[in-house]
Structure 1
Amino acid sequence: MGYAVVLGEALVDLLETGHDGELIYRQAIGGAPLNVAVGVTRLGGDVRYLGSLGNDTLGDRIAAFLRQTGIGTETLTRVGVPTTLAVTTFDGAEPTFQFYGEPPSYALLRPEDVDDAVIAGAGVVYTGSICLMREPFRAAARKAWAVPGPVRVFDPNVRPKLLPDAAAVTALRELVEEFFATADLVKLSSADAEVLWDGATPASAAEHILKVGARTVVVTCGSKGAYVATPEGSSMLPAPSVAAVDATGAGDSVMAALVRRLLADGVPADLEGWRRNVRFALAVAGLVCERPGGAVAMPTTDELVTRWGALV
C-alpha cells in the first residue's frame, strides 16, 4: 500500500530521572505522532512526516533524527518559534506530561502546507493527538483528512494537563468524534476513554466510537492488553509479560505496528484479522516498555524476533 503520511507534533521530552542522588532531566526526541512515524519506519514501513518544527537547535536535532531514521522530511515545515518542551514525570513506569512553549512549535502547520497529491498517494494517513487542539494545525489536519484514497487512522491521545475544565473536555470530545466519524481505525487508551466519556470502560467507549462511524476501534489497556472491536464483534487480547521500565511511547508503538500491518496487508477482512494485528502490536509495545524513552525505544523487526520469536 505504499507509504504512510503522519501528521502531528514533534517535540523534545525532558524525562525526569535520578543520577548520583540528584533529580535530572534527560533530553529525548518525542511527540506521539513522531513516535508513530519512527515506529512504522523501524518496522520496515515507508513514512512521510507532515508537521512543523521550531527553527532552533532542538528543531535541527529533530529534523536530523527524522532523516537518520529514514523518515521522509520533504513535507516538513520549519517555523520561527522555539521547539516545544514536554517535561515528563513518572508514577512507576507511567508518564505524565507538562508542556512548555507558546505558541507550540508543533501546531503551526497550515492548510497550504498540505499537498493533496501527497495525501492521495498514501496508503495510510494518520493524525490525532494534542496538535489538533490548536490552529492552524487543526485546519491542516481537516484538509488532509478530507482527501480521498488512504486508509484513515486516528488517535486522540488525550493529555489531561491540557484540559482545565469540563468545557475543555466537551470541546475535545466533539473534535475527536468529528474525525472518528470517517476513520477506518481509531486507537485510544483506556485512560483516554475515561476522560472523554466520564469513566467509560473500553467496551462502552468502543461501542460508542463504532456508532459514531469508525470501522474498527482498538483500546489499549496497559499491562492488561488491548480491546479490539468491529461491527462483527469484539475481543480482549492479553499483553505479553514484560519487566516495564518506561511506558513512554507504548501506545504510539501499538499504533505504529497497526499502521505497518495496514501498509503491508491492507485492512483486515474480519475480526480475526484485526486480532492478529493487535497481537503483533502488543508484542511491539511490550518491547518498548522494557526500554527507556519514546521514539528511541521503537524496535526493529529483527529485535522483535529476537525477543519474542517468530511473530504472526
Structure 2
Amino acid sequence: MFLICGEALFDVFIDPIETDTPDDPITVMRAVAGGSPYNVAVGLARLGRAAALCTEISPDRLGKRLEAALVKEGVDLSFIRRASGATPLALVDVDPTGLPHYGFHGLRQMCLHPVAATFEAERERITGIHVGSFPIVSERSAEKLLKLVEGAGDRIVSLDPNIRLAVEPDTLLWRAQVDRFRVHAHLIKTSVEDLEAIYGVDIDAEAIARSWVGGKTKLVVLTRGERGGVLFAGDGERIEIEAIPTIVVDTVGAGDTYQAALLCWLDEAGLAHPDALAGLSHAQLEEMARFAGHAAALTCARRGPDLPRRAELQTVRAANDVPRANAPVGHLTARASAL
C-alpha cells in the first residue's frame, strides 16, 4: 500500500457565463474534490493499486463529501485526522490555454503527517511513501514528514515538489526544504515550472534535475510542457519523453496523474522497491514513461482532476486510445497539478 501524505480540499472553478450584457457576466463556481496528494491517492486507487491518504478532513458538508468520495474510490482512510476547522479551498481560474492558476484558503492550519501510533500499527502494510507540495513547507508537518521519509527503510519514497508560491511565497524556504526532502527520495518527479519558480527563469532545469540523481535518488523525471520530458537515471542515463498529443480541455490534475501512474507501473511490475529502481533497463524506463504519459493525456482530455481508471489504460500502447490533436500540448507538466 502506498501512503500519500498531504492535503485534501475542494478545487473551486470560476466559470464565467456569457450574457446579453458582456460587461456584467454571470460567474458560476463549481467545486470538485482535489488537492495534489488527494489526486495521487485517488489516481492510484483508480489504477488498481492500494493507497491510503494521510490528511485532515473537516466535519463540515464539504469534508463529508471528501470522505465519501475517498470511500467510493477505495482509498484507505486509516490515516485520516479529524479537523475542527473548515475544509480548505483552492480557487482555480483556468486560462485560455487550459492552464490553471490558483488561490488557496485554509491550508496552513492543517496537520498532514501521520499520527505516530497509527503509522506503527500500519507499518507492515506500507510499501511506499509519497510526499510533496505544501506539506514539505508546512510549519505543522514538514519536520514530522522529513523524519518519516528519513526512516522509510526499504520502502520506496517518492517526491513531487509541486511548488505553490500562492500558498508559501518564500522561495528560499522552498529551495531549502526541497533539498532536505529530495535526498531521501528514491523517485522524484518535478517540472521546469517548479524549478524556475524557486531558482529563477534563467536556470538550466535539466542540469538541476540531473544533479539530483545520486545517493538514494535513482530516478528523476523532469516534465517540460509541450516539449515532453526527460528522465534521468544512474550512470548518467538520459531518456527523452515524447509529449503525447491530445485535445486539451484543461490540465488540472495531469501532473498528479503522471505521478500516480509512475508508481502504479512500478508496483504492477513488482519494482516498487529502492533496490529495484537502480536496475531498471532502458526499455523499462521508456515503457514506464509512456504509461504515465498516456494516463496524463487522458486526464487532460477531461474537465478538472478526473484521473483515469486502469481499464482505460488496458490498450495504452495503441495511439488511438488517446484523443489526438495536430500538435503536442503541455499536459505532462507538474504545473497541471491541483493542490
Output the TM-score relative to the length of structure 1. 0.90
1:151–1:307 Cα change, 3 Å: closer
**1:197-276 aligned within 5 A:** 197-199=199-201, 200-210=203-213, 214-232=217-235, 233-265=237-269, 266=271, 267-268=276-277, 269-270=279-280, 272=282, 273-276=284-287
Contact 1:225 1:237 in 2 (8 A): yes
Contact 1:6 1:33 in 2 (8 A): yes
Contact 1:120 1:148 in 2 (8 A): no
Secondary structure of residue in 2 paired with 1:6: strand
- Which protein is richer in strand relative to its size? 1
2:94 matched to 1:94? Answer: no
> Residue 187 of structure 1 is aligned with which of 171, 189, 199?
189
- CA deviation after TM superposition for structure 1 residue 160, in Å: 2.3
Identity of aligned residues (%): 27
Q: Which shows bigger deviation, 54-63 or 77-86?
A: 54-63
Cα-Cα RMSD: 2.1
Moved beyond 4 Å, runs of 4+ = 108-111
Contact 1:111 1:141 in 2 (8 A): no
Give the paired residue count: 303
Alpha-carbon displacement from aligned partner over 1:222-271 (angstroms, at most 9, x marks no partner):
23222100123112211211010110010010000011112222144235
> Residue 308 of structure 2 is aligned with which of 282, 299, 302?
299
Contact 2:54 2:112 in 1 (8 A): no
1:258–1:307 Cα change, 3 Å: closer
Secondary structure of residue in 2 paired with 1:29: strand
> Residue 156 of structure 1 is aligned with which of 157, 161, 167?
161
**Code of the aligned partner of 1:157:** N
In structure 2, runs of 5+ residues without a counterpart are: 20-25, 322-339
- CA deviation after TM superposition for structure 1 residue 35, in Å: 0.4
2:24 matched to 1:30? Answer: no
- CA deviation after TM superposition for structure 1 residue 195, in Å: 1.6
Secondary structure of residue in 1 paired with 2:189: strand
CA distance in 1, matches of 2:217, 2:210: 10
Contact 2:78 2:118 in 1 (8 A): no
- CA deviation after TM superposition for structure 1 residue 308, in Å: 5.9
> Residue 70 of structure 1 is aligned with which of 71, 74, 83?
74
CA distance in 1, matches of 2:44, 2:107: 30
Contact 1:246 1:292 in 2 (8 A): yes
CA distance in 1, matches of 2:51, 2:264: 10
The structure having more radius of gyration, on CA atoms, is: 2
Secondary structure of residue in 2 paired with 1:292: coil
Contact 1:210 1:217 in 2 (8 A): yes
1:46–1:5 Cα change, 3 Å: same
CA distance in 2, matches of 1:121, 1:301: 22
1:12–1:95 Cα change, 3 Å: same
Q: Which shows bigger deviation, 153-162 or 266-275?
A: 266-275
CA distance in 2, matches of 1:118, 1:108: 17
- CA deviation after TM superposition for structure 1 residue 140, in Å: 3.0
Secondary structure of residue in 2 paired with 1:24: strand
CA distance in 1, matches of 2:10, 2:123: 26
2:146 matched to 1:142? Answer: yes
Output the TM-score relative to the length of structure 2. 0.83
Structure 1 match to 2:5: 7
CA distance in 1, matches of 2:135, 2:105: 13
- Which protein is richer in helix relative to its size? 1
- CA deviation after TM superposition for structure 1 residue 18, in Å: 3.0
Secondary structure of residue in 2 paired with 1:241: coil
1:44–1:54 Cα change, 3 Å: same
